[in-house]
Structure 1
Amino acid sequence: MRFSHDRRGQSVVIGTVILFGFLIVAMAVYQAQVVPTENANVEFEHSQQVEGDFVDLRNALLSAVQTGDGRSTSVTLGTRYPQRTFFVNPPSVTGSVSTTESRELRVSNVTVDAEDNAAFYWDDRTGENDTITFDTRSLRYSPEYNELRDGPDLVYEHSLVVGEFDGAVLGRTGQTTVSSDRNRIRLTALDGDLSESAIERRTVDPVPISQSRRSVALNSTGDDPIVLELPTDVSMERADDLESEWERRLGANAESVTVADGVIRIELDGGEGYRLDLGKVGVGTGATVPNESDGYVVAVPSNDDAAVVEVRDRFNNPLQGANVSVFVDDDLETTRRTDDDGRAEFTPERSPRVEMTINDGEAPWEGVLFRAGTVGSGAGGDNINPSGETDIVLNDIGQPGNDVVELQFKNAGDEPREFREAEFTLYYRPQGATRETFTITGPGDRNQELSLRGGFQDLDEPFEILAGATKTMTFQFQDNVGGDLLGVSFRDDLNQQSLYLAGIEGDIEEGDGGGENGGDGGDAGDIEMRVDDLTRLASDDPEFYVSYDVGVDFDEIQISAEDSQNEFGASDQTTATDGRNGVTLEPGYDAGSEFAVTVTATEGGEVVAERTILTDADTQNPTENDDLSLGTSATLDASDIIDRTQTAQDNVRYRFDYDVSGTGSFSETQLHVVNRNGNGASGSTTLTQRSVNNADVEPGNGANTEYKLAILVVDADGAVVDDRIVVDVADGTDP
């Protein structure tokens, strides 16, 4: 049987082999080129996501130290690739977040302007080198990408987040460390051991260790610059880039910035005074908590008979849970622990000598002495018509009407003093019925009734007397009081109680008083004023720009802002010799409270005019503001405000364009972006050009919250004469 060659199946087999070969080649190309490209896109998207997470973590750290509330924040450390049936993925991406080793932060060439125990403590703390130091850490996120060749590490330090690439450093947020337009330095120490490495999300819990609630005044030693030396974890191979980022964000806030040897060195104008806010926040484990062993204690004014102190830690903030020893007449009486506000109080029987100390009380800043007669159930009982060199003395007595009595008081000391409580203690009338009530009607618009032996009442407004000045209080009775004896008791800001006895006759001699702080000659109508509320709610930092125009002859102007409830005694004041001007007041804390903003004109030590505007430190301007513009003032002719906020990065940004008239008195334009909710940063800048385009103000965190946006035109005298003020949600949509 013969078999011939049969080729009928060859073409099918060969075709199948060729097609299979093409498939293998295509899959190989897809595996080699397409899969890496798609995975690189996955890694890039993760890089963008984790950057937003890291910025959120930065905001949580800053918020914790400002508000005292820790907010957990999750960070997506790594990512997974999409599953592939016929192709192979590399291992899933892992990432790590960790703190660096602790290093020293330094504030050099400074002295602290403080009083009493605070002065003793900070003088010792700064030492011979005029330097404040404490330890801090950086926080770093590092990804392990397989395809994305230049995915950045993210580094948080000193309020700034930067992306550290192989060949560059780029900033990702603003900085809050220095704000020279407000003369404020804010430093937050980071502590704790944190080391997390994973593919999935991990939660980081910031813990407020020392909430920033107090500040101190800094001045340079001589006129040399104040120097900040901030340790950095960024590679010194990219020092020039890091230096440029800090220079760009600090702008005119700093005289110079250099980065070398792992340190960012910032030099600030030594001719300016600054407020220093310190705080500490922890992450992970092992963060050290400050205690009274490295702190100090100060006296706190009290409205009752208690001796009250506040213990502060090495970051100058109130310390909860500190042990305070109480000595009565040199014998240990008891021990108190400080409350949430860092305060401890003790009310003794009688009025003994009381001393409250921390630690062993040997250092001068570790104890507060309350003199006998100043605290306790009998405090001030024997202090009748005081006449010491630092007392408030009864200077004169007047009767301008049959049923009106004037008592003129003089502050013999060199510090402002005030009465806070009053009691109608006694009344003697030789014949006829005694007088059971009187009404305090002056100074100002007072109308407070007191009853005989009715006990102490808080004055509706504290009765403040400047150092060396006189001030008159007016009492309205219902009947004739001539020839009678009046006894009125007061408790003052030092918790001292004094009884003033006055025989009623005659008038106060002309020239012994004058105005709200030395008689009744002052007139609020002689002063025009405007208060621009620029309070930073998130950092508990009241701020007022006060413009005024005084229309009487004077020697000196005093401008002050004081907590009208005086719960914590927050206040700030300055003096000037210009009758028309504008000044910035920063009481230091107690944002949200009502403040009395006062302009006082004096001549020859007597008040000739005074005006007060009451306003809550809440960013809202008071309705009592006057229009201080003159016919010769510049005007705001045009303006535009652009919301450039990056909501994904939680980065608030506004751009201002404005045109001020080409003629008219002008010195500067202030641009303010002020957070109104207390959950975002604020920022401002000052420009001297009449016409500006593209002026950027970039506070930092606070996207999707409400902001006050203000363009303030300031004349050559310093007074605000025109403005544009709007409220806007920072969401990228123009107001």
Structure 2
Amino acid sequence: MYDIDETADFANVVVTFDNRNNNWGDTTSSTTAERDTITFSQGGQMGATYDITITVFDTDGTITDTVQITDVANGDSQSAGDLTDSDSPSFAGTVVDDLGGSQANYEVSYNVSDRANFGSVRVKYTNLDSSGADATYSSSDPRHNIDDYAEAFFGNTAGDSYRIRVELVDTDGVVVDERVVSDVADGSSPSGNADLTRPSSPALSTYSIADTTNNNNGRYTLQYLVSGPDTDFSQVEAIFLNTDRSWATQTKSSSNPDGTIQYNQGGVGGDEYKITIRVLDSDGIVVAEVTETDTADGTNP
């Protein structure tokens, strides 16, 4: 990603990616845009060392500037200078939630301010332990919840380490704001999450959790009441996170603002649970949340 100053005689930018290990991993790209993103992807080259040369030419074909960078292809970025403009969008807040279970289960919520030049939001998941579990998702909605990774199946990734990069892209395709977090997929969300509520957000007025576990069959009954405008309410989610047996973790939901959610799972009597109640607004963003811990033994938390 780059931005050119003093553009009166600007002609083009040429970027060369020189792989020190394999010549077939080299490439050269050129563009005439004054502000742009150039993307290069080469399979099988993670860990290789690259010499990256960025050359600027004027209308006479003369080189007016050159930047050289050496980098190892490992997901760690390098940057110099500020690519934002005075009218660039920015994150008003981001949330990265780790929902736990037998596989990595993540979702990202965000809100963008100064939206005139907003392009998209891109979320990149890099699994640092298991190959084949990387994924990238994007949205053109300036306030949204991206939960695609939660819906994908990446077996045996519970407990793996992740690098999650949330990028805000402007209309030129340049990243002007980002949040990068490292997390272990264990059901505990990383720190630094923002509050994305707004005046019209629904709220969790009351709730009760009844533990009716019997004969090693884990049973819970959740009763709840949501207050606030119905127009900004979408659903209530209840995450029953079994910290002893990940396969017994379940997420239940209801679109009723005044209702009951049931959990019933055999063979989990005596297990420890984290029960999280979440209220989602019309954008799918969590605007109210509470968590209770309990042992599935028939005694209410």
Closer, same or farther in 2 for the Cα pair 1:731/1:380, shift >3 Å?
Answer: same
Partner of 2:99: 534
Q: Does 1:685 align with 2:252?
A: yes
Is residue 637–residue 659 contact of structure 1 (8 Å, CA) maintained in 2?
Answer: yes
Is residue 562–residue 572 contact of structure 1 (8 Å, CA) maintained in 2?
Answer: yes
Closer, same or farther in 2 for the Cα pair 1:680/1:730, shift >3 Å?
Answer: farther
Q: Does 1:733 align with 2:288?
A: no
Q: Does 1:386 align with 2:14?
A: no
Closer, same or farther in 2 for the Cα pair 1:609/1:629, shift >3 Å?
Answer: same
> By how many angstroms is 1:717 displaced?
1.3
Is residue 683–residue 699 contact of structure 1 (8 Å, CA) maintained in 2?
Answer: no
Q: Distance in 1 between matches of 2:137 and 2:66?
A: 42
Partner of 2:61: none
Q: Does 1:701 align with 2:267?
A: yes
Partner of 2:284, secondary structure, is coil
Partner of 1:660: 226
The two structures have a TM-score, normalised by structure 1, of 0.31
> By how many angstroms is 1:722 displaced?
0.4
> By how many angstroms is 1:535 displaced?
1.6
Partner of 1:645, secondary structure, is coil
Is residue 552–residue 608 contact of structure 1 (8 Å, CA) maintained in 2?
Answer: no
Q: Distance in 2 between matches of 1:518 and 1:484?
A: 13
> By how many angstroms is 1:583 displaced?
2.5
Q: Does 1:579 align with 2:142?
A: yes
| Residues 175-218 of structure 1 deviation map (CA, whole Å, 9 limit, x = unaligned) | xxxxxxxxxxxxxxxxxxxxxxxxxxxxxxxxxxxxxxxxxxxx
Partner of 1:168: none
> By how many angstroms is 1:387 displaced?
2.0
State the structure with more CA Rg.
Answer: 1
| Percent identical | 25
Q: How does 1:43-442 map to 2 (within 5 A)?
A: 380-381=20-21, 383=23, 386-387=26-27, 410-412=38-40, 420=47, 422=49
Match of 1:611 among 172, 179, 188: 179
Q: Which has the larger helix fraction? A: 1
Closer, same or farther in 2 for the Cα pair 1:382/1:622, shift >3 Å?
Answer: closer
> By how many angstroms is 1:380 displaced?
4.7
Is residue 107–residue 145 contact of structure 2 (8 Å, CA) maintained in 1?
Answer: yes
Q: Distance in 1 between matches of 2:81 and 2:130?
A: 27
Partner of 2:162: 595
Q: Distance in 1 between matches of 2:78 and 2:30?
A: 16
Partner of 1:598, secondary structure, is strand
Is residue 89–residue 113 contact of structure 2 (8 Å, CA) maintained in 1?
Answer: no
Closer, same or farther in 2 for the Cα pair 1:416/1:386, shift >3 Å?
Answer: closer
Q: Which has the larger strand fraction? A: 2
Closer, same or farther in 2 for the Cα pair 1:516/1:524, shift >3 Å?
Answer: farther
The two structures have a TM-score, normalised by structure 2, of 0.71
> By how many angstroms is 1:492 displaced?
6.3
Letter in 2 for 1:607: V
Is residue 130–residue 160 contact of structure 2 (8 Å, CA) maintained in 1?
Answer: no
Q: How does 1:546-557 map to 2 (within 5 A)?
A: 546-553=108-115, 554-557=118-121
Q: Distance in 1 between matches of 2:67 and 2:108?
A: 44
Is residue 662–residue 690 contact of structure 1 (8 Å, CA) maintained in 2?
Answer: no
Is residue 120–residue 139 contact of structure 2 (8 Å, CA) maintained in 1?
Answer: yes
Greater relative contact order (CA < 8 Å, ≥ 6 in sequence): 2
Is residue 675–residue 681 contact of structure 1 (8 Å, CA) maintained in 2?
Answer: yes
Q: Distance in 2 between matches of 1:545 and 1:484?
A: 40
Is residue 93–residue 110 contact of structure 2 (8 Å, CA) maintained in 1?
Answer: yes
> By how many angstroms is 1:699 displaced?
3.9
Closer, same or farther in 2 for the Cα pair 1:384/1:675, shift >3 Å?
Answer: same
Unaligned stretches of 5+ residues in structure 1: 1-378, 397-407, 426-471, 473-482, 494-514
> By how many angstroms is 1:555 displaced?
2.0
Partner of 2:107: 545
Closer, same or farther in 2 for the Cα pair 1:382/1:597, shift >3 Å?
Answer: closer
Partner of 1:439: none
Q: Distance in 2 between matches of 1:728 and 1:708?
A: 7
Closer, same or farther in 2 for the Cα pair 1:491/1:525, shift >3 Å?
Answer: closer
Closer, same or farther in 2 for the Cα pair 1:530/1:673, shift >3 Å?
Answer: same
Partner of 1:411, secondary structure, is coil
Q: Distance in 1 between matches of 2:228 and 2:67?
A: 66
| Residues 358-415 of structure 1 deviation map (CA, whole Å, 9 limit, x = unaligned) | xxxxxxxxxxxxxxxxxxxxx9545399226xxxx6989xxxxxxxxxxx983245x9
Closer, same or farther in 2 for the Cα pair 1:419/1:609, shift >3 Å?
Answer: farther
Aligned residue-pair number: 257
Partner of 1:591, secondary structure, is coil
Is residue 633–residue 721 contact of structure 1 (8 Å, CA) maintained in 2?
Answer: yes
Q: Distance in 1 between matches of 2:241 and 2:234?
A: 22
Is residue 202–residue 281 contact of structure 2 (8 Å, CA) maintained in 1?
Answer: yes
Q: Distance in 1 between matches of 2:49 and 2:212?
A: 55
